[in-house]
């Protein structure tokens, strides 16, 4: 069997138990097993003496559902794909007690759940009635059918599957008569501390690793003492049934329900309780006195067992059992019972006569009221008084039994730190590779987006200088995913395309947003401006008290988000005095000749293109109409300052066609001032 390394810490596990009670010699609480592939659920009892797993086969019933249910379910090896037949062999459980029979053996998968399943376990299939219900053996001695030893179920949980911490278990058989029937409890690798009263007395296992104790005393107390007790020879309400003279070693074995006591001790029981020994059944019944059982129930008796590690030892454990623990019934088809399936149960007292000391046994009836804890690795065990809880199935407190440092047993294969690192290397490598692939993909996507991003945005970033507060220093994620930066200064004309960048040999400098730019003070003629079939005609004359020979300064019209270099990049010829006189800008359609600049002009004008931000520029959103000459009052009010030289009234007017000559109708006054004349014409 392959060994599995468990990455989790091994811990005690509780076997699943059923609320259904089985047995033809009493009511016993079974545990549930998954056997075979696919799994077949089988209910079995617990054997503390056997190391094998037994199940009832399909030949053990007559085909009725009633039989199948009473025997805990039937296992069909033909329906399992993992069954490996080994042949027929004798059932080797408690041969000293006279039990026998033949079973069909094989290797099969056994477990409690899919997680706690062990392959290649020895399984015996029973098709007779010598054993009414199957067993789960808790022994650790391996079975050998061939040259190789087959590990037991408990051993495999530790050494091969590393599911429990040690070779140990805790078990109580459950009590049908307690409360509303308290089921059994089986914990592997530890114990359930909610099911017993703890103490500090432990005993040693025998050389065969069986829990063997010295039974020093059995006594019984009736409360109160009834007249029927006196008639049976009770000198008081308490009598001794087994004393120091009959003390000996007894094996605690859950495979059998009986107390196997010396014949002399059995005679003490006969006299004290009025029992009748049935030679055919080899059990004590009440056949000679049907009312005797009711008398015993009414006596309210308590049996007291005193156990020690060695006979006569003062280090003892005293355990009590009520009479109800011994009040059992035989049912059909118990071997030797004269009954049918419809017969009433036969009351009996679970006492058997032991032929010799090898048969001295304390059976399952004792474990109804006690809790057995076995630690194979320390070679010790303990027996404690059981505790009963109505919610015993759900109210569990499992405690691990750890391995001692000097244990001779192989322990669970728990992954160490180095083993864990080896086991996780592949996962880490795969994860790192995937991470690199993802990062590379993101980087490629970002580069692709940068490559195909807005050329205007790239041009802006190329020209814009680095500095404090610069948008070049952006958030890492923004730069990573190349979020395009919005331009705060729109184009003058949405239909115009921006020109190519200036030659690399030219030195490009950005104008300060706060720099004032002057226009030439000479006469400026503005050609018609066409937009949406409208023509704007502007006539300008010098304002009063203004010296035409001086330059006119523009007010600061720069928007905080305006980018001056966008205007510099407007399409057209590079600035040259020889071209200014005839150049017409594509952006505004305004002839530079109208500005009064000639190739021989002594004044050098700044190459500034009229834009919507230039004072005096007439927007295209004016209403349809004509702008007439302003009256003298308005002209006088408008000429009060150089900055407010232009004003006018808008009048509704008829459509008229105007030639370019109308733009030259500038009027000059004797005081050197210049009046402004605007006209707006709509073209059909």
pLDDT, tens digit, 9 for 90 and up, residues 356-398? 999 999 999 999 999 999 999 999 999 999 999 989 889 999 9
Q: What's the distance, Cα to Cα, between the start and end of the chain in Å? A: 101
In the chain, where the domains are located = 16-163, 212-368, 518-684
Tell me: the pLDDT tens digits for 501-520?
555 555 555 555 555 656 66
The answer to whether residue 208 scores a pLDDT higher than 90 is yes
pLDDT of 174 over the 80 cut: yes
What confidence score (pLDDT) does residue 439 get? Answer: 84
Among 347-351, 428-432, 485-489, the least confident range: 485-489
Residue 114 in this model has a pLDDT that exceeds 60 = yes
pLDDT at residue 32, as a whole number: 97
Per-residue pLDDT at 592 exceeds 80: no
Residue 190 has pLDDT above 80, yes or no: yes
pLDDT at 513: 55
Does the structure show a pLDDT above 70 at 346? yes
- What is the per-residue pLDDT for 623? 44
For residues 120-147, average pLDDT: 93
pLDDT tens sequence across 295-343: 999 999 999 999 999 998 889 999 999 999 999 999 999 999 999 989 9
Domain 16-163 shares a fold with domain 212-368: yes
Query: Is the pLDDT confidence value at 279 over 50?
Result: yes
Q: Distances from the Cα of 511 to the Cαs of 78, 458, 462, in angstroms?
A: 95, 19, 15
- Model confidence at 452: pLDDT above 80: no
**Arithmetic mean of pLDDT, 577-606:** 44
The pLDDT value recorded for residue 632 is 45
Of 426, 679, 446, 464, the residue nearest 563 (C-alpha)? 464
Q: At a CB cut-off of 8 Å and minimum separation 6, what does 677 contact?
A: 539, 540, 541, 629, 665, 666, 667
Lowest mean pLDDT across 172-176, 193-197, 473-477, 508-512: 473-477
What pLDDT is attached to residue 521? 60
- pLDDT tens, 225-266? 777 777 777 888 899 999 999 999 999 999 999 999 999 999
Q: What is the pLDDT of residue 3?
A: 56
Q: What is the pLDDT of residue 305?
A: 98
Q: Is 25 exposed, middle or buried (0-12, 13-18, 19+ CB in 10 A)?
A: buried
Summarize pLDDT for 396-424 with one digit per residue, the tens: 999 999 999 999 999 988 665 455 555 56
Looking at domain 212-368, its CATH class is: mainly beta
Spatial separation of the C-alpha atoms in residues 342 and 612, rounded to whole Å: 113
Report the pLDDT value the prediction gives residue 478, as an integer from 0 to 100. 57
What is the sign, positive or negative, of the torsion defined by CA atoms of 571, 574, 575, 579? negative
Two structure tokens written together for 279: 């030679």
Percent with pLDDT over 90 in the chain = 50
Return the pLDDT at 639. Answer: 44
Q: How far is CA 356 from the centre of its chain?
A: 59
Domain at 16-163, CATH from 2.40.70.10, 3.30.420.10, 1.10.1740.10, 1.20.970.10: 2.40.70.10
8 Å CB contact between 551 and 520: yes
Q: Specify the 3-state DSSP secondary structure of 560.
A: coil
Mean pLDDT computed over every residue of the chain: 77
Report percent pLDDT > 70 for the chain: 63
The residue among 621 and 424 whose pLDDT is bigger is: 424
- At residue 666, the pLDDT reads 44
- Please give the full DSSP string across 189-250, using - where no structure is assigned: SEEEGGGEE--S--EEPPTTS--EEEEEEEEEEESS--HHHHHTT-SSSEEEEE-GGG-EEE
Give the pLDDT of residue 496: 56
pLDDT score recorded for residue 138:
98
What is the value of pTM for the model shown? Answer: 0.64
Mind listing the pLDDT tens digit for each residue in 516-531? 656 666 665 655 554 4
């Amino acid at each position: 069997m392959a060994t599995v390394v468990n990455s989790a810490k091994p811990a005690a596990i509780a076997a699943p138990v059923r609320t259904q009670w089985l047995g033809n010699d009493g009511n016993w609480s079974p545990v549930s097993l998954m056997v075979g592939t696919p799994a077949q659920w089988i209910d079995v009892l617990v054997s503390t003496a056997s190391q094998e797993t037994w199940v009832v086969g399909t030949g053990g019933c007559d085909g009725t559902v009633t039989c199948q249910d009473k025997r805990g379910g039937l296992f069909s090896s033909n329906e399992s794909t993992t069954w490996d037949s080994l042949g027929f062999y004798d059932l080797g459980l408690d041969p000293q007690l006279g039990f026998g029979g033949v079973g069909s053996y094989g290797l099969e998968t056994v477990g409690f759940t899919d997680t706690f399943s062990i392959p290649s376990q020895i399984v015996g299939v029973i098709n007779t009635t010598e054993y009414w219900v199957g067993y789960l053996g808790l022994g650790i001695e391996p079975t050998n059918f061939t040259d190789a030893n087959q590990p037991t179920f408990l051993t495999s949980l530790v050494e091969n599957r590393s599911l429990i911490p040690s070779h140990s278990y805790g078990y109580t058989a459950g009590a049908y008569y307690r409360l509303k029937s308290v089921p059994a409890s089986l914990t592997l690798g530890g114990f359930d501390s909610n099911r017993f009263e703890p103490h500090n007395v432990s005993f040693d296992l025998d050389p065969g690793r069986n829990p063997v104790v010295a039974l020093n005393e059995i006594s019984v107390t009736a409360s109160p003492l009834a007249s029927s007790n006196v008639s049976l020879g009770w000198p008081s309400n308490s009598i001794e049934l087994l004393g120091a003279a009959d003390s000996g070693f007894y094996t605690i074995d859950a495979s059998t329900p009986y107390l196997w006591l010396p014949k002399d001790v059995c005679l003490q029981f006969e006299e004290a309780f009025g029992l009748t020994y049935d030679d055919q059944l080899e059990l004590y019944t009440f056949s000679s006195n049907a009312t005797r059982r009711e008398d015993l129930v009414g006596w309210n008796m308590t049996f007291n067992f005193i156990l020690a590690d060695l006979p006569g030892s003062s280090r003892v454990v005293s355990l009590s059992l009520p009479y109800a623990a011994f009040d059992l019934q035989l049912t059909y088809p118990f071997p030797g019972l004269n009954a049918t399936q419809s017969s009433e149960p036969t009351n009996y007292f679970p006492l058997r006569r032991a032929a010799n000391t090898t048969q001295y046994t304390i059976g399952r009836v004792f474990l109804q009221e006690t809790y057995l804890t076995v630690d194979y690795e320390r070679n010790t065990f303990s027996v404690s008084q059981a505790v009963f809880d109505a919610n015993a199935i759900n109210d569990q407190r499992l405690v691990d039994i750890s391995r001692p440092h000097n244990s001779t047993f192989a322990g669970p294969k728990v992954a160490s730190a180095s083993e864990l690192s080896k086991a996780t290397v592949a996962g880490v490598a795969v994860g790192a590779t995937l991470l690199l692939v993802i990062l590379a993909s993101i980087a490629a996507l970002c580069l692709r987006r940068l490559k195909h991003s807005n050329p205007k945005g790239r041009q802006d970033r190329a020209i814009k200088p680095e500095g404090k507060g610069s948008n070049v220093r952006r958030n890492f994620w923004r730069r990573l995913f190349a979020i395009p930066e919005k331009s705060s200064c729109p184009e003058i004309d949405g239909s115009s395309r921006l020109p190519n960048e200036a030659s690399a040999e030219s030195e490009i400098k950005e104008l300060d947003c706060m720099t004032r730019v002057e226009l030439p003070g000479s006469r400026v003629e503005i050609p018609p401006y066409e937009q949406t079939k409208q023509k704007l005609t502007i006539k300008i004359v010098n304002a009063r008290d203004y010296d035409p020979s001086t330059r006119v300064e523009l007010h600061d019209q720069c928007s905080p988000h305006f980018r001056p270099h966008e205007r510099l990049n407007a399409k057209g010829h590079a600035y040259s005095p020889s071209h200014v006189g005839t150049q017409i800008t594509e952006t505004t359609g305004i002839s530079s000749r109208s500005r009064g600049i000639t190739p021989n002009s002594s004044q050098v004008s700044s190459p500034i293109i009229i834009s919507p931000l230039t004072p005096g520029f007439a927007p295209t959103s004016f209403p349809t109409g004509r702008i007439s000459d302003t009256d003298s009052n308005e002209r006088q009010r408008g000429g009060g300052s150089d900055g407010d030289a232009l004003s006018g009234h808008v009048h509704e007017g008829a459509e008229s066609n105007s030639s370019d000559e109308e733009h030259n109708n500038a009027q000059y006054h004797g005081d050197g001032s210049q009046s402004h004349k605007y006209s707006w014409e709509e073209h059909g």
